[in-house]
Amino acid sequence: MNTPATRLQQLLAFYADDPTDAFTIYALATEYRTQEPERAWGFYQKLLAEHADYVGTYYHAGKLLEEFGRKEEAEQVYRKGLVVAKKAGQQHAASELRQALSSCLGLDYEDE
């Protein structure tokens, strides 16, 4: 069984071998998300800049921006992610991004 430290070490080794691999960058962002959110954000930024077509980035990057209190930036990330998801034909991801955007904008009425 991989412990978190071992998993992180493996991911960092993969990243050292190929710092351009989108999946490894995404996995590192995910791994750092809870314990080191600023470091996770750095990996999300790299994905957004260098792998703009990596659909999974947008939801999680937006959520992290919301946690940082940066709602306007989160809104822009969600909006761009919607365009990317639709272009890629990923309707489920588009639906999740639409919900996240609505929630970010305060338009989420499901809790009432």
Per-residue pLDDT of the chain (112 residues; tens, 9 = 90+): 567 679 999 999 999 999 999 999 999 999 999 999 999 999 999 999 999 999 999 999 999 999 999 999 999 999 999 999 999 999 999 999 999 999 999 996 655 4
Number of C-beta neighbours around residue 25 at 10 A: 25
Question: CA torsion angle for 102, 105, 110, 112 (degrees, to 10)?
Answer: -170
Task: Identify the pLDDT of residue 5.
Answer: 72
Residue range 4-104 in CATH 3.40.640.10: no
pLDDT at 75: 98
Per-residue model confidence (pLDDT) at position 1: 56
**pLDDT attached to residue 110:** 57
Taken in order 59, 66, 44, 25, the sign of the CA dihedral is negative
